[in-house]
Structure 1
Amino acid sequence: MARKSPARPGLPIATSRQAAVWLRSMLARQPLQVSFAILFSLIGAIATIVPVYVLGRLVDDVLADAPTSRITSVIVQILLAAIMAGLLTGAATFLVGKTGETILANLRERALEHALLLPLPLLEEAGKGDLLTRINDDVAAIARFVRNSLASLMSTLTLVVLSIAAVTTIDYRLGLGAAVSIPLGLIVLRLHMPRTRRAITQERQATSQRAQALIAGMQGVPTVRAYGLEHEQTAQISEASGQAREQILAGYQSLSRFVSAGKVVQYIGLGTVLAISFVLIQEGEQITVGEATIAALLFYRLFAPMQDILFSFNDIQAAGEGMRRLVGLINSEVVRERGRNDQPTDSTLELEAISHTYDGTAVVVRDVNLTIAAGERVALVGSTGAGKTTVAAIAAGVIRPSSGQARIGGVDLAELGSRDLRKQVAIISQEVHVFSGPLFEDLRLANPFAGDDDLQAALRTVGAHAWVHNLPEGIATMVGEGGYQLTAAQAQQIALARLVLANPPVAVLDEATAEAGSAGARELEHYAYEATHGRTTLIVAHRLTQAARADRVIVLEHGYIIEQGPHSELLKRGGRYAELWNAWEGRDKDSINDDDLE
């Protein structure tokens, strides 16, 4: 049986009140559009009721032996009312859709903006699956509601209110009879909503876990294959998918029960109106047959739109839950710039008494104290599992240490806002991403204001100018998915060019040349050296030639720093670094892939 992955805490979720406040603030930005949408919807609903009134009066006219010419008048009135209702309802639907799409676009953009500002430690803790389902599934749920249900919901609610008001004008007892369905409907709604909300929340959590399982599986394909974990990984994905499927089915079952209860309430309301009409007609003709017809038709014609609302109720609830999740992301304190006014005095990088554990049990880094002076290059070496990548991630602010402090220029990284942190330190890992689009846009992600000369200078610094010039359209060539496919070494050069363009005072290179292969590793090491010139640099060394060129070498074993000093000095000591160096020198350096240094 597959080991069940522990549940992640997830990102913040707003309350219904907070979501409503945010929605009102968005509606307040479009007062005329919203006002006209309500006005057109109201008048359109009134025009929709007119044919029912006309038909009811026709019944009384027929009973009173009115001339047949009366039918012509009825047809004209119904035709005019239908035309007016169609035009106004269409205009209202257009305005409602436009308003909804505008709010949706704002919501999508704000959510994406805040997602990009999420502190990496929080994102790692919550899991990428939660963020992915918010940006994709929750936005899609709101979009589906806006496009399919919002206009009809507004029209139906307006029609319900006007129909009950119209029935009440005929006789207040008929109005009370029609209104009896309201408390019954509210009771059904009250019983159903908490269950639906729980079901949708659990469904979103299940789909988040499924997305996380898929992401982890795809990103870890090499490791999964290397250790023969295909079956276990597939079982975990299947389990997450099964849980998501069960939650979705539970939601449909709940909806089916709700629709059935809603239809019972409708028929109770119609039966009550008909019964009261019968009694009133029998007791001295307090109302006419035509008025009874009007009351029954007004109530009965609500069946179809109300049924549509019932069937789309889960979509409405899903949109509401999606709104809460996205507003929770937007309003979250964790994505706001909460940094201090203090700014780093220089680019000195300090790790003080750093210890870290991922699961609360196994400590991977223990009491690490390290100071890298401004402009100094320090290489971090050690065996597999020594904690090198963890130290690099802490130094870059990607994860927060379980204890201790990481500082730049005397300022704790945890106190810097996301934007300030990225201005101060950049990290390049072994796996880099090439974004789809023109290459110059990919480069400008690091510096949107970089000119063509800046781009070309950055490419020359990292040795990419020649091959970029030879691309089909030069720097304007489409790269990434669907475009020109860059090699691993070329992708790393682009990442280094982004580093040059971003120009942070501190750089962390976590095996940034490992994907280049033997042939291009030496060249890429040279370009990485050039890209980090003048910067405080921490290098997780994949090849010991990187360590040899560094100002200082740190040897990490089992989470501890066991040696540090210049390359030549460490060789003279004959310690662990000397062992690693001798083992490495004893092989063909151009084909080295030492397991101890991965």
Structure 2
Amino acid sequence: MTALHDDRADVTEITPPTGDTQTETDMSGTSTDHPGRALLPTAGGAESLAALRGILSGHRLLAVAAALVLVAGTGIGLLTAPLLGHIVDLVVEREGPRALTVPLVLLVVVALARGAAAVAGGVLVARLGETVLATVRERFIERALRLPLERVEAAGSGDLVSRVTSDVSMIAKSVRQALPEFTRSALTIVLTLAGLAVLDWRFLLAALLAVPVQILSVRWYLRRAAPVYAKHRVATGALQHQLLDSIGGVRTVRAFRLNGPHAALLEDRSGAARDVALRGLHIVTGFFSRLNLAEFIGLAAMLGTGFLLVRNGAVSIGTATAAALYFHSLFNPVNAALYLIDDAQSAGASFARLIGVANLPAERTPEGGKAPADGAVRVTGLGHAYADGRPVLSGITLDVRSGERVALVGASGAGKTTLAKVIAGIHTPTGGSISLGGVDVRELGPEGVRRAVTLISQEVHVFAGPLGADLRLAQPDATDEELRRALATVGALDWAEALPEGLATVVGEGGHRLTVAQAQHVALARLVLADPPIAILDEATADAGSAGARVLEEAAERALEGRTGVVVAHRLPQAAAADRVVVLDGGRVVETGTHTELVAAGGRYAELWAAWSDSRQEADVPSAAGARAAGHATADVPAPGPSDRSGAGSALGGGR
């Protein structure tokens, strides 16, 4: 007797440490066991089946063809046992070697036909599975990319990351390996039992004696395994979230000497994963030991039945041999089918998590199709809070004329970035109203806001692929000449054409590595191609260093020509060059006016400008002294860059 060996790592469950319990959620997305996080929704069983039926309905022909080929291949393979039984009868009756020629040739033909059908059926099933997977993945990504940022933050980034990585990988693995094997195994079981009934109904009864043990084994396994997989899916998200926090914020962790606590937390979760993995292995081992018992009972009953029937002359030795071979051939299919319930449990949990997000209500598209008349921005009584009772913005009122350049200035935490993201539609205001080009954003809808406003932050992503394809994300039908014009506008054409293959050069992950300044050039070129009436630059030049920042500031100026610009200024010269400066403090607008007016007013902005001017003078002194000591004439010394902010520079850093 045989049983499949368990060499899977997917049994492992990752359990959060005490005090950080998480559970799967229903479609409301509410987690009752983790008050601090509202995980993204998970579809129920009925909803998952309905989604699967809907996807398969568009591929009926492929599904039917796969089923027919697999049935034909399995049916042909079942001819092996009767042919072997016939050979046994010929040997018993001493028919001679010549009588064996035809059965042996037929065995070869059956083997070849079965193999060809198995390959064809496997290909069709795999194609069907990959088609379903691609559809689910596309629906999930399309919906996930449009989730409100608050919803993602409430769930934790690890929840979404684990769904798009480990859950998709689990389904892909099941589709490519488990689905074809399970389909073949199920068909083999059904048709083999039918073959036993054809030989003699009493053989079928003997084979069915193993079924109660198998059913009890499966029930025992499912009761214990199902919770493991449900917890595993959520715990994977918790681990992803912790890893993102620790690795993504490594600078903060080191700066505040949090290495120990973070390492201890990861160690606790790893220890919990080890303990649960051992429990999972114990469950699998117990499951297969019970299946081995079922095999023993069934085979013993089959051999005993064959002995009695042959002794009574009811069947020939060859028929009894065929029946025994039939039952023995069920070992692997039955074990595989039952064992693949393991995959089905895990894949089903992953599928439900993907469908839970994919089935979230679509973005509301307002009727009427209004579009902004120009690039004017009006913010009235705006409020926003990341957590209840802790407002970040309060009573913001701001009017930006079409084509005007406005700089947002303030200390870290003043609300500059939050205001920029609320105007861009990334965050939803908790109070007040916003209108773009004279149209309320609620009438524009999310898609209308995205067409009207483009936000560029200092965290620019370069997508893997040709540079031209990366730029065409902003304008899919742009020609190469239009791409070059956009690059030329932001001063990036020279280095782009100097790349090994020009616009066809593969950049991003695994390709040509772009510098920070070049990546921002790409983002600004996308802005030119998208050509929105309103552009928001949120510290878009902060990571380029002093010299690089000046180059990017000039590029940003050219990219903003002809459109309304809202700039979150991390360098006060940016604010000084703007048409108007808006100073925020504590989530409120405390000053607004031109650079000259605000400096003359002697308020908050004047203090920041004075502090910045002092820091520049302090930076000039040692540089000039060093130049004189070297016997050279002094030159202009650039202002402290973002990597060396002091005084007002640090007060103008990032943050909400």
* Same-fold status (TM-score > 0.5): yes
- CA offset digits 1:105-132 (Å, max 9, x no partner): 3433443344333333333333332333
Task: Answer yes or no: is 1:476 the counterpart of 2:525.
Answer: no
3-state DSSP of counterpart to 1:149: helix
Q: Secondary structure at the match of 2:392?
A: strand
**Equivalences for residues 311-322 of structure 1 within 5 A:** 311-322=339-350
1:255 matched to which residue of 2?
284
**Greater CA drift, 184-193 or 410-419:** 410-419
C-alpha deviations, 1:555-579, integer Å up to 9, x for none? Answer: 2222222222333332232211111
1:20-31 pair list within 5 angstroms:
20-31=49-60
My pick for the range that moved more, 428-437 or 367-376, is 367-376
For 1:441, the aligned partner's letter is: A
Q: Distance in 2 between matches of 1:504 and 1:216?
A: 34
Question: Does 1:348 pair with 2:376?
Answer: yes
CA spacing shift, 1:414–1:144, aligned 2, 3 Å: farther
What is the match of residue 307 of structure 1? 335
Instruction: Please list, as runs of the form range in 1=range in 2, the aligned pairs for 1:277-316 lying within 5 A after superposition.
Output: 277=306, 284-316=312-344
Moved more, 140-149 or 99-108: 99-108
Structure 1 equivalent of residue 640 of structure 2? 591
- The alignment status of 1:218 with 2:247, answered yes or no, reads yes
How far residue 184 of structure 1 moved from its aligned partner, in angstroms, is 4.3
- Report if aligned partners of 1:426, 1:506 keep a CA contact under 8 Å in 2: yes
2:72 alignment partner in structure 1 = 43
| Alignment gaps of 5+ in structure 2 | 1-16, 22-33, 617-637
In angstroms, what is the RMSD of aligned CA positions?
3.1
Contact 2:150 2:386 in 1 (8 A): no
- Counterpart CA distance in 1 for 2:400 and 2:440 is 15
Q: Give the deviation of 1:396 after TM superposition.
A: 1.6
SS in 1 for 2:381: strand
Equivalent residues of 1:519, 1:590 under 8 A apart? no
| Structure 2 counterpart of 1:209 | 238
Shift of 1:357: 3.2
| Cα shift at 1:597 | 0.9
Give aligned-pair identity as a percent. Answer: 41
* AA in 1 matched with 2:541: T
The alignment status of 1:393 with 2:399, answered yes or no, reads no
The residue that corresponds to 2:456 in the other structure is 428
Q: Structure 1 residues 378-387 or 221-230, which shifts more?
A: 221-230
The unaligned stretches of length 5 or more in structure 1 are none
Residues 207, 241 of structure 1: 8 Å contact kept: no
Given the alignment of the two structures, is residue 161 of structure 1 paired with residue 190 of structure 2, yes or no?
yes
Whole-angstrom distance in 2 between the partners of 1:260 and 1:353? 69
Question: Does 2:562 match 1:534?
Answer: yes
| 8 Å contact kept, 1:40–1:91 | yes
* CA contact 1:145–1:315 (8 Å) conserved in 2: yes
* SS of 2:590 mapped into structure 1: strand
Which shifted more, 49-58 or 420-429?
Answer: 49-58
1:17 aligns with 2:46: yes
Deviation of 1:285 after TM superposition, in Å, equals 4.4
Q: Equivalent of 2:404, from 369, 373, 376? A: 376
| Letter of the 1:375 counterpart | G
Give the superposition deviation at 1:459.
1.9
User: What is the identity, as a one-letter code, of the residue corresponding to 1:535?
Assistant: R
Contact map agreement 2:497 2:503 (CA 8 A) in 1: yes
What is the one-letter code of the residue matched to 2:254?
R
* Distance of 2:121 and 2:382 partners within structure 1: 61
From 122, 125, 137, the counterpart of 1:96: 125
- Cα 1:466–1:62 shift into 2, 3 Å: closer
2:269 is aligned with 1:269: no
Aligned to 2:529: 501
Q: How does 1:42-121 map to 2 (within 5 A)?
A: 42-60=71-89, 69-121=98-150
CA contact (8 A) 2:489 2:558 kept: yes
The residue number in structure 2 matching 1:229 is: 258
Say whether residues 1:554 and 2:582 are aligned partners.
yes
Change (3 A) 1:516 1:54: closer
Aligned AA (2:527): L
Query: How far apart, in 1, do the equivalents of 2:428 and 2:290 lie?
Result: 52
Q: Which residue type is aligned with residue 454 of structure 1?
A: E
Corresponding residue for residue 601 of structure 2: 573
The residue aligned with 2:628 is none
Question: Greater shift after overlay, 111-120 or 383-392?
Answer: 111-120
AA at the equivalent of 2:566: L
Change in CA separation of 1:486 and 1:78 when aligned onto 2, cut-off 3 Å: closer
Give the distance between the partners of 1:506 and 1:275, measured in 2 at CA.
84
Question: After the TM superposition, which of the residue ranges 415-424 and 253-262 deviates more from structure 2?
Answer: 415-424
Between the aligned partners of 1:131 and 1:461, the Cα distance in structure 2 is 37
Q: Secondary structure at the match of 2:526?
A: helix
Amino acid at match of 1:583: A
Distance 1:221 1:169 in 2: 69
The residue correspondences of 1:361-372 to structure 2 (distance < 5 A) are: 362-372=390-400
1:352 CA drift (Å): 3.6
2-structure distance, mates of 1:412, 1:262: 65
Deviations 1:297-336 (A, max 9, x none): 2112110222233444322322222222223333322xx3
In structure 2, the CA distance between the partners of 1:403 and 1:276, relative to structure 1 (3 Å rule), is farther
Note the C-alpha offset of 1:487: 2.7
What letter is aligned with 1:129? G
CA distance in 2: counterparts of 1:492 and 1:59, whole angstroms: 78
Q: Is the Cα–Cα contact under 8 Å of residues 339 and 417 in structure 1 kept in the other structure? A: yes
Q: Which residue of 2 aligns with 1:143?
A: 172
User: May I ask how many residue pairs the two structures share in their alignment?
Assistant: 595
Shift of residue 384, structure 1, vs aligned partner:
1.5
| Counterpart in the other structure of 1:185 | 214
Kept in 2, the 8 Å contact 1:209–1:240? The answer is no
Q: 1:586 to 1:42 in 2, by over 3 A?
A: same
CA distance in 2: counterparts of 1:48 and 1:290, whole angstroms:
18
Residues 352, 406 of structure 1: 8 Å contact kept: yes
The change in CA–CA distance for 1:68 and 1:488 in structure 2 (over 3 A counts) is: closer
Aligned match of 1:339 in 365, 380, 383? 365
Tell me how far apart the structure 2 counterparts of residues 246 and 573 of structure 1 sit (CA, whole Å). 66
Residue 578 of structure 1 aligns with an amino acid whose one-letter code is: A
Q: Is the 8 A contact 2:471 2:483 kept in 1?
A: yes
Distance 2:439 2:222 in 1: 48
- In structure 2, do the counterparts of structure 1 residues 414 and 250 end up closer, same or farther at CA, with 3 Å as the change threshold? farther
Amino acid at match of 2:589: I
CA gap 1:597/1:256 in 2 versus in 1, 3 angstroms:
same
Per the TM alignment, residue 73 of structure 1 is displaced from its structure 2 partner at its CA by 4.1
Which of 351, 358, 381 is the matching residue for 2:386?
358
| SS of the residue 2:549 aligns to | helix
TM-score normalised by L of structure 2:
0.82
Moved more, 564-573 or 497-506: 564-573
Alpha carbons of 1:482 and 1:300: their partners in 2 closer, same or farther (altered >3 Å)? Answer: closer
Q: 2:233–2:349: 8 Å Cα contact kept in structure 1?
A: no
Cα shift at 1:417: 5.2
How big is the shift at 1:157? 0.8
Q: Is the 8 A contact 1:387 1:556 kept in 2?
A: yes
Aligned CA distance change for structure 1 residues 436 and 66 (closer, same or farther; 3 Å): closer
**Aligned to 2:543, what secondary structure does the other structure show?**
helix
The Cα of 1:57 is off from its aligned counterpart by 4.1
Q: In the aligned structure 2, how far is the partner of 1:524 from the partner of 1:262? A: 68
Offset at residue 158 of structure 1 (A): 0.9
| 1:386 alignment partner, SS class | coil
